[in-house]
Amino acid sequence: MRLRLVPAETNYDFFKFAPATFGLSVAAVLVSIVVFFTMGLNYGIDFLGGTTIRTESAQPVDVAVYRAALDPLGLGDVAISEVFDPTFGSDRHVAQVRIQAQPGEDAIAPETILALEAALQTVDPGMTFPSVESVGPKVSGELVRTAVMSILASLTAILFYIWLRFEWQFSVGAVAALFHDVVITVGVFALFQIPFDLTIIAGILTIIGYSINDTVVIFDRLRENLRKFKTMPLRDVMNLSVNETLSRTVMTSGTTLIALIALLVLGGDVIRGFVFAITWGVVIGTYSSVFVAKNIVLYLGVKRDWSKKSATAGTQFADIDA
């Protein structure tokens, strides 16, 4: 007996609420852009430069007491935050102390780090420091540029691949959906001020890969149906294609989310931001594949007679299985 989360044959009308879903997507992108420019991201040490020290203590974290202990060192603005995790025992209290790069210095001197640790141990002599990470301001600036370039390069490569595999209308729809996913993900991180570091960039690139995979599956079925149903309205062919791949979409996304939710709850705070980015990406990527990419392709229109070559379509690789 086979498990089915979706009936074998479905006939949902995914265009029934197209104006509402597409309008919601446009609004979400615009709000995300506004939130990004007004609130900004909570950049991690990778992008700001400086030093992050992780502390563990048997005593409860008191941010005010920690800050008072560090004030005599004259380190400027020091960010102190308690780390919460359901896997921590009642006698394990973790905090993160972030010190931005000091003017004129590429990195905080080891003597300064030792003085900082000694100052914190006046609060709790048994306090330990399981990790210390330092990044210079020059390196952090290069990391920002590299992160932006990696995302743009991946979007450009996908645009070119989809154009070769299908037609330019499919490329525009796929890249628009990916842009939608990336912008809204960044907006969520800005809205909730979730720490944003290099691991989140890795998560965004993973989102791009996952989302385009789901989109290509739908586009492949759409191309097959365009050849099979030459007189059926394009909207109906798209609906049919999404319905035929719906079971695969739900099963793939569902099983992926099971593993990701387990990591999100039990994986610990160190990887929580990365896992959250991918978890959110699976949800928003599945949504955009169904409700964003195909809407744009419908609006732009596609060639229905695949027996004739188009001068504007790079479909010379259309029969390659990839």
- Domain assignment present for residue 1? The answer is no
Tell me what pLDDT residue 189 has. Answer: 92
For residue 304, name the pLDDT band (cuts at 50, 70, 90).
Answer: low
Residues 115 and 242 in one domain: no
Of 78-87, 128-137, 176-185, 307-316, the range with the highest mean pLDDT is 176-185
Q: How many Cα atoms within 13 Å fall on the side-chain side of residue 298?
A: 19
Give the residue-averaged pLDDT of 32-45.
87
Pairing of strands 93-100, 42-43: unpaired
- Domain assignment present for residue 8? The answer is no
C-alpha 273/C-alpha 134 separation (Å) is 19
| Domain containing residue 29: CATH number | 1.20.1640.10
pLDDT above 70 (res 135): no
For residue 317, name the pLDDT band (cuts at 50, 70, 90).
Answer: very low
What pTM was computed for the model? 0.73
pLDDT above 70 (res 2): no
For residue 8, name the pLDDT band (cuts at 50, 70, 90).
Answer: low
Domain boundary among 82, 116, 135: 135
- Domain assignment present for residue 97? The answer is yes
Domain that holds residue 219: 18-42+140-300
- Domain assignment present for residue 37? The answer is yes
Residues 270 and 194 in one domain: yes
For residue 315, name the pLDDT band (cuts at 50, 70, 90).
Answer: very low
pLDDT above 80 (res 165): no
Classify the phi-psi angles of 313: left when phi > 0, otherwise alpha if psi is within -120 to 50, otherwise beta. beta
pLDDT above 60 (res 319): no
Tell me what pLDDT residue 9 has. Answer: 73
| Mean pLDDT across the chain | 80
Residues 130 and 144 in one domain: no
Residues 68 and 114 in one domain: yes
- Domain assignment present for residue 54? The answer is yes
Q: Which of 191, 108, 204 is nearest to 151 (CA)?
A: 204
Domain boundary among 106, 135, 164: 135
Residues 194 and 291 in one domain: yes
Residues 168 and 266 in one domain: yes
The number of domains in the chain is 2
Q: Which of 175, 181, 184 is nearest to 154 (CA)?
A: 175
- Domain assignment present for residue 67? The answer is yes
Classify the phi-psi angles of 40: left when phi > 0, otherwise alpha if psi is within -120 to 50, otherwise beta. left
Residues 29 and 106 in one domain: no
Residues 145 and 231 in one domain: yes
| Domain containing residue 118: CATH number | 3.30.70.2040
For residue 139, name the pLDDT band (cuts at 50, 70, 90).
Answer: low
Residues 256 and 107 in one domain: no
Structure-token match 């991918």, residue found:
278
Residues 84 and 229 in one domain: no
Tell me what pLDDT residue 55 has. Answer: 87
pLDDT above 80 (res 175): yes
Residues 244 and 106 in one domain: no
pLDDT above 90 (res 37): yes
Residues 147 and 211 in one domain: yes
Say what angle helices 198-228 and 272-288 make with each other, to 10 degrees.
20
- Domain assignment present for residue 237? The answer is yes
Domain boundary among 135, 159, 185: 135
- Domain assignment present for residue 180? The answer is yes
